[in-house]
Amino acid sequence: MLKQNLSQKLLQKLSPQQIQLMKLIQLPTSSIEQRIEEELESNPALEESDDYSEVFDLDDQNDEISNEPESNEEVFELDDYLNEYIEEDPISYKINSEYNTEAQEDFMPQHSGSTFSDSLNDQLGLLDLTEEEFIVATQIIGSLDNDGYLRRSGTDIVDDLLFAQNIEVQERTVTNMIAVIQDFDPAGLAAADLQECLLIQIIKRLENADDPNRKSKLIAQKILTNHFDEFSKKHYTKLEKNLFISRSELKDAIDEILKLNPRPASAFNSSKQGQVKYVVPDYFILNRGGELELILNNKNAPDLHINDHYLNVLKSYKENKNSTKDDKKAVLFIKQKIDSAKWFIDAIVQRQQTLYKSMYAIMQYQYDYFLTGDERKMKPMILKDISDITGLDISTVSRVASVKFVQTEFGTKRLKEFFSESIQKEDGEEVSTLEVKNILQEIVSGENKRKPFSDEKLKSKLMDRGYNIARRTVAKYREQLQIPVARLRKEI
């Protein structure tokens, strides 16, 4: 049976402006410049300037606007707006670098040199190929991923050429061109998987018949060809038995494999466009003789203010006693643009204040760490701790910490690295989980690689130091540190 009910609910919804502000807060310094450029292009009332010496001369601020008989409600609201806006100090709608306490002369190094695809196309140009072979080879080069692997089969490439370029080729031609590209430098290109990539490289190294390490390379080729699974799982005893070789011969062969490059395109920074990504710190923390100073990076936040031409238009409208209907429409458009520009400037200012306030609280909370760089002095800290100190919402603190970096004299760190849960030692002292992870890393680094510690043994080692944690927690921390299980850490 259907029923209709009438009910009232009180809901909280973020306005579009609040949503945009949250997005601005979350943006790192490296991205805020692009966002400001977009706003400058879309809103002519917003202007970028480095000069604050000019202050607009707005006389007769207390005059009333008188218009001809069309004094409807819309006009009165507009007049009120003009009076209110013109009476405000235009300087309040300029962003200055109040947080930038010293000049930041940082610059971004520029990448030079050929790109990954350029290098391969240059090598391709040296070959004597038919037009069809050249087209197929170009398609293959364009299909390589950032590591230099060819993840598409010959059939897929045939289909790509047919659908994209309306060219029908034989799969045999594609296979032949893949073999040609696999002979390019760097070695290992156009492989379907890691095994083939390493095999291409080891075979190329076997071309020198006088190589004193040729025997080790031949064994390495056999391992990669017939025993790749045992090699990847480090079943060294099985390899010795199956290949009828000694432990020293196996070690020499594995050393040859470890010299190979599993990512042949890595020399080109894994980028077909040749773009190098640099970390742009959002904050700088300086040690001034034992006193910490926090600087907010304003490099990518240019000075913004309201375009003076638009202010003059408003002033002219106010002084004009015979404004037409078209004039009023134009001023309404200007009002909309100025409102948008004012909001954006206020949002950028609020973003700066929020970022500075949050990082200052983090710096004070972790003061001993920023003074010494000793991670053992890093206190357990969660988002709520900073939220309580700053009065900001936890979600806002989370947005601030999400993709931000701080540059210290001990290196550039992610803000996320300073947040951690706490655990209690046997003596009752609360320590950060970061401290436990660092000690775990230290234990693994010092272990005998021929007999690496199991998770149970790592747990015992931590307990000996006063950290009583469960084995599954050890396994979780080990995975977070990207430390393989004991079997995969084993060496000969």
Both 129 and 257 in a single domain?
yes
CATH number at residue 450: 1.10.10.60
Query: Number of structural domains, the chain?
Result: 3
Both 313 and 384 in a single domain?
yes
pLDDT in tens, the chain (492 residues): 677 777 777 666 666 677 777 888 888 887 888 888 888 888 888 887 654 333 333 333 333 333 343 444 444 444 554 455 444 444 444 444 444 444 344 434 444 456 788 888 888 888 888 988 999 989 999 889 888 899 889 889 998 888 888 888 899 999 999 999 999 988 889 999 999 999 999 998 888 878 888 898 999 999 999 998 888 888 888 888 988 989 889 888 888 888 888 888 876 754 444 445 577 888 999 998 889 999 988 765 667 888 778 777 777 776 666 667 777 777 788 888 888 888 888 888 888 889 999 999 999 999 988 998 887 788 888 888 899 999 998 888 888 888 889 999 888 888 888 887 767 666 666 677 777 888 888 888 888 888 888 888 888 888 888 878 888 888 888 888 888 888 778 777
Which of 369, 398, 419 delimits the end of a domain? 419
- Asked whether residue 325 is domain-assigned, the answer is yes
- Helix orientation angle between 308-319 and 73-87, rounded to the nearest 10 degrees: 130
Both 178 and 126 in a single domain?
yes
- Asked whether residue 123 is domain-assigned, the answer is yes
Tell me the CA distances in angstroms from 257 to 243, 254, 269, 312, 412, one per residue in order.
16, 5, 22, 73, 34
Between CA 435 and CA 420 the distance in angstroms is 10
Both 353 and 214 in a single domain?
no
476: left (phi over 0), alpha (psi -120 to 50) or beta: alpha
Q: Which residue has the tokens 């209110």?
A: 84
pLDDT given at position 88: 47
- Asked whether residue 1 is domain-assigned, the answer is no
CB atoms within 10 A of CB 211: 12
Please give the residue range of the domain that contains residue 433.
422-492
pLDDT given at position 301: 64
Tell me the CA distances in angstroms from 359 to 19, 203, 353, 365, one per residue in order.
22, 54, 10, 10
pLDDT given at position 456: 87
- Asked whether residue 110 is domain-assigned, the answer is no
Tell me the CA distances in angstroms from 221 to 184, 196, 198, 200, 233, one per residue in order.
20, 11, 9, 10, 17
Both 312 and 188 in a single domain?
no
- Asked whether residue 65 is domain-assigned, the answer is no
pLDDT given at position 391: 92
Both 151 and 286 in a single domain?
no
Between CA 284 and CA 166 the distance in angstroms is 55
pLDDT given at position 102: 43
Both 438 and 368 in a single domain?
no
Which of 419, 452, 469 delimits the end of a domain? 419
pLDDT given at position 292: 92
pLDDT given at position 61: 35
Both 172 and 156 in a single domain?
yes
Tell if the pTM clears 0.75, that is, is over it: no
Which of 380, 399, 419 delimits the end of a domain? 419
Both 412 and 459 in a single domain?
no
- Asked whether residue 4 is domain-assigned, the answer is no
pLDDT given at position 28: 83
pLDDT given at position 14: 61
Both 483 and 452 in a single domain?
yes
pLDDT given at position 218: 92
Both 331 and 355 in a single domain?
yes
Between CA 432 and CA 302 the distance in angstroms is 39
- Asked whether residue 8 is domain-assigned, the answer is no
Both 122 and 228 in a single domain?
yes
- Asked whether residue 196 is domain-assigned, the answer is yes
Structure tokens at 288: 């001034």
pLDDT given at position 91: 41
